[in-house]
């Protein structure tokens, strides 16, 4: 069965002004016991990683299919793909717990395929691990191969033979963001499951639970901003929430935007205003000044403008299509000078609003 659910989308996030270190301290919890203190210091993504398939708030069709494989004792090699933070690793770890119970760690080997030591080391580890045969309740061991899309074609070809050779006593779960980077021969040996960005209401239900458990003081508009910025990436939602909670006693939308370094809706309005009303060089210096003062990456401005104009139905359709196209070109050009990109963005906007002629239907 092939459960394809979405296209992978690139997700390059800007550096956040308040960096999430993973060692954020709990607030006012010094009197707690040692175990609680360790728990308090855990990143929430780990503290609240679902332990069972039922606890996963999304992709129920995937979890129920995999659960059926486990119950029927017919687990195939698996290929989980999709954008970051959508529960691929959490799902396979929950499967491991279901398969092996409390002893799951001794039955599972987790490898990062992008490991700098290269495929030879990875292959050697797999061989050593897969080659040792034991009797287990499930009858096979599990090897989780994360970030498999970072492997070269050559390495993937080598892996193909390893998968074949040890199928008797090992199941592989290959995890990646971009399935197109996995060679067809490896794909065809696996049952593929596509993890789409998590629905907003599902992210919200998990956030609500954690907000209550951690007694986070957050407004509704703060939660909405979190949902909007996370774009279906649960890891990002939890990391930003924890970073905000550790830095502020009270969280609203502004705090969330400040924490992530993303432009607020009022900033976007300001940018659109100056682009529309001011002449080229003044608009350029206004946006540049704001960008430097507020520490925005140009890519974030581009992303926000893209979302803004996508829904700007008052804007003539022809101009809108032209500008959206130019925005995506600027986005693709990330890495070149931000100054030139901003000039190009502004120039495209001026051309777009100067466009006459018949309108198009979008
Ligand atoms: N469906 C879900 N239900 C509840 N929490 C989730 C879910 N998916 C993800 N999370 C939370 O987000 C964190 C990151 O998820 P996970 O590591 O499973 O993502 P991933 O898809 O493997 O990401 P990547 O591709 O970056 O490795 C988890 O630790 C968990 O806290």
Q: What is the CATH number of the domain that holds 111?
A: 3.40.50.300
Q: What DSSP state is assigned to residue 231?
A: T
Could you tell me how far CA 315 lies from the centroid of its own chain? 32
For 296-349, what is each residue's pLDDT tens digit?
888 889 989 998 998 888 888 888 889 999 888 887 766 668 888 899 889 999
Same domain, 209 and 175: no
Same domain, 186 and 205: no
What per-residue confidence (pLDDT) applies to 28?
34
CATH code, domain carrying 303: 1.20.272.10
- Report how far ligand 1's centroid is from the alpha carbon of 204 (Å): 14
Same domain, 86 and 170: yes
151 C-beta closer than 6 A to ligand 1: no
Identify any residues that bridge with 142 across adjacent strands, giving them in sequence order. Answer: 108, 171
Query: Residue with the nearest Cα to atom 18 of ligand 1?
Result: 87
Same domain, 88 and 108: yes
Burial of 290 (0-12, 13-18, 19+ CB in 10 A): middle
145 C-beta closer than 6 A to ligand 1: no
What per-residue confidence (pLDDT) applies to 31?
41
Query: d(Cα 243, Cα 193) in Å, to the nearest integer?
Result: 31
Same domain, 273 and 321: yes
Query: Residue with the nearest Cα to atom 4 of ligand 1?
Result: 56
Same domain, 79 and 159: yes
- Report how far ligand 1's centroid is from the alpha carbon of 330 (Å): 30
Could you list the residue range(s) of the whole structural domain that residue 299 is in? Answer: 265-353
Arithmetic mean of pLDDT, 8-28: 32
Q: Which residue has the higher pLDDT, 25 or 187?
A: 187
Query: d(Cα 226, Cα 241) in Å, to the nearest integer?
Result: 7
Same domain, 82 and 124: yes
Q: Which of 53, 150, 235 to mutate to test the pocket of ligand 1 (most atoms within 8 A of CB)?
A: 235
State yes or no: ipTM above 0.90.
Answer: yes
Q: Which of 13, 94, 311, 57 is nearest to 198 (CA)?
A: 57
Q: Which residue has the higher pLDDT, 203 or 354?
A: 203
pLDDT of 51 > 80? The answer is yes
90 C-beta closer than 6 A to ligand 1: yes
- Report how far ligand 1's centroid is from the alpha carbon of 133 (Å): 31
Query: d(Cα 81, Cα 199) in Å, to the nearest integer?
Result: 17
Q: Are strands 170-176 and 108-112 parallel, antiparallel or unpaired?
A: unpaired
What per-residue confidence (pLDDT) applies to 360?
41
- Report how far ligand 1's centroid is from the alpha carbon of 285 (Å): 41
- Report how far ligand 1's centroid is from the alpha carbon of 320 (Å): 36
pTM for this predicted structure: 0.78
For 256-282, what is each residue's pLDDT tens digit?
998 888 899 899 999 999 999 999 999
- Report how far ligand 1's centroid is from the alpha carbon of 341 (Å): 34
Identify any residues that bridge with 170 across adjacent strands, giving them in sequence order. Answer: 141
Q: Tell me which of 260, 277, 292 is where a domain ends.
A: 260
87 C-beta closer than 6 A to ligand 1: yes
Query: d(Cα 178, Cα 82) in Å, to the nearest integer?
Result: 7
Q: Which of 55, 87, 173 to mutate to test the pocket of ligand 1 (most atoms within 8 A of CB)?
A: 87
Q: Is residue 233 a part of any domain in this protein?
A: yes
- Report how far ligand 1's centroid is from the alpha carbon of 195 (Å): 10
Q: Is residue 318 a part of any domain in this protein?
A: yes
238 C-beta closer than 6 A to ligand 1: yes
Query: At how many degrees (to 10) do helices 234-247 and 200-213 cross?
Result: 30
Query: For 93-97, 179-183, 243-247, 297-301, which range has the lowest pLDDT when averaged over its residues?
Result: 297-301
What per-residue confidence (pLDDT) applies to 336?
67
Q: Tell me which of 217, 245, 260 is where a domain ends.
A: 260
98 C-beta closer than 6 A to ligand 1: no
48 C-beta closer than 6 A to ligand 1: yes
Arithmetic mean of pLDDT, 84-105: 93
CATH code, domain carrying 210: 1.10.8.60
Same domain, 229 and 161: no
Same domain, 206 and 318: no
pLDDT of 295 > 70? The answer is yes
Q: Is residue 45 a part of any domain in this protein?
A: no
Q: Is residue 86 a part of any domain in this protein?
A: yes
Q: How confident is the model at residue 95 (pLDDT cuts 50, 70, 90)?
A: very high
Same domain, 64 and 188: yes
Query: Residue with the nearest Cα to atom 25 of ligand 1?
Result: 84
Mean pLDDT, the chain, rounded, equals 83
Arithmetic mean of pLDDT, 1-28: 34
What per-residue confidence (pLDDT) applies to 337?
80
Burial of 129 (0-12, 13-18, 19+ CB in 10 A): middle
Q: Tell me which of 161, 194, 227 is where a domain ends.
A: 194
239 C-beta closer than 6 A to ligand 1: no
pLDDT of 60 > 90? The answer is yes
Q: How confident is the model at residue 359 (pLDDT cuts 50, 70, 90)?
A: very low
Quote the percentage of the chain above a pLDDT of 70: 82
Same domain, 349 and 246: no
What per-residue confidence (pLDDT) applies to 15?
33
319 C-beta closer than 6 A to ligand 1: no
Q: Is residue 37 a part of any domain in this protein?
A: no
pLDDT of 112 > 60? The answer is yes
Arithmetic mean of pLDDT, 209-236: 95
What per-residue confidence (pLDDT) applies to 133?
60
- Report how far ligand 1's centroid is from the alpha carbon of 131 (Å): 30
């Amino acid at each position: 069965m092939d459960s394809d659910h979405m296209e992978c989308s690139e997700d390059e996030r800007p550096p956040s002004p308040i960096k999430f270190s993973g060692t954020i301290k709990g607030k006012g919890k010094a009197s707690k016991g040692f175990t609680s203190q360790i728990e308090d210091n855990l990143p929430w993504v780990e503290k609240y990683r679902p332990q069972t398939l039922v606890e996963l708030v999304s992709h129920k069709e995937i979890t129920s299919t995999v659960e059926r494989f486990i119950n029927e004792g017919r687990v195939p090699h698996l290929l989980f793909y999709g954008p970051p933070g959508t529960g691929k690793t959490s799902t396979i770890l929950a499967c491991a717990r279901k398969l092996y119970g409390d002893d799951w760690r001794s039955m599972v080997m987790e490898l990062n395929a992008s490991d700098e030591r290269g495929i030879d080391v990875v292959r050697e580890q797999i061989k050593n691990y897969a080659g040792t045969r034991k009797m287990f309740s499930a009858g096979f061991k599990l090897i989780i191969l994360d970030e498999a899309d970072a492997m070269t074609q050559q390495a993937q070809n080598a892996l193909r033979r390893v998968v074949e050779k040890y199928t008797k006593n090992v199941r592989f779960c290959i995890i990646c963001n971009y399935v197109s980077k996995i060679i067809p021969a490896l794909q065809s040996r696996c049952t593929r499951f596509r993890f789409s960005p998590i629905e907003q209401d599902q992210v919200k239900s998990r956030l609500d639970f954690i907000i209550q458990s951690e007694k986070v003081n957050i407004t509704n508009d703060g939660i909405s901003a979190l949902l909007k910025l996370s774009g279906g990436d649960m890891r990002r939602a939890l990391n930003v929430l924890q970073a905000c909670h550790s830095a502020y006693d009270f969280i609203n939308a502004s705090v969330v935007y400040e924490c992530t370094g993303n432009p607020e809706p009022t900033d976007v309005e300001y940018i659109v205003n100056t682009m529309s009303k001011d002449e080229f060089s003044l608009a350029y210096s206004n946006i540049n000044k704001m960008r430097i003062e507020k520490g925005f990456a140009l890519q974030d401005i581009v992303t926000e403008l893209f979302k803004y104009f996508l829904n700007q139905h008052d804007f003539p359709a022809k101009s809108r299509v032209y500008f959206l196209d130019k925005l995506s070109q600027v986005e693709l050009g990330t890495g070149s000078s931000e100054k030139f990109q901003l000039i190009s963005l502004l120039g495209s906007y001026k051309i777009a609003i100067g466009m006459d002629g018949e309108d198009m239907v979008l």
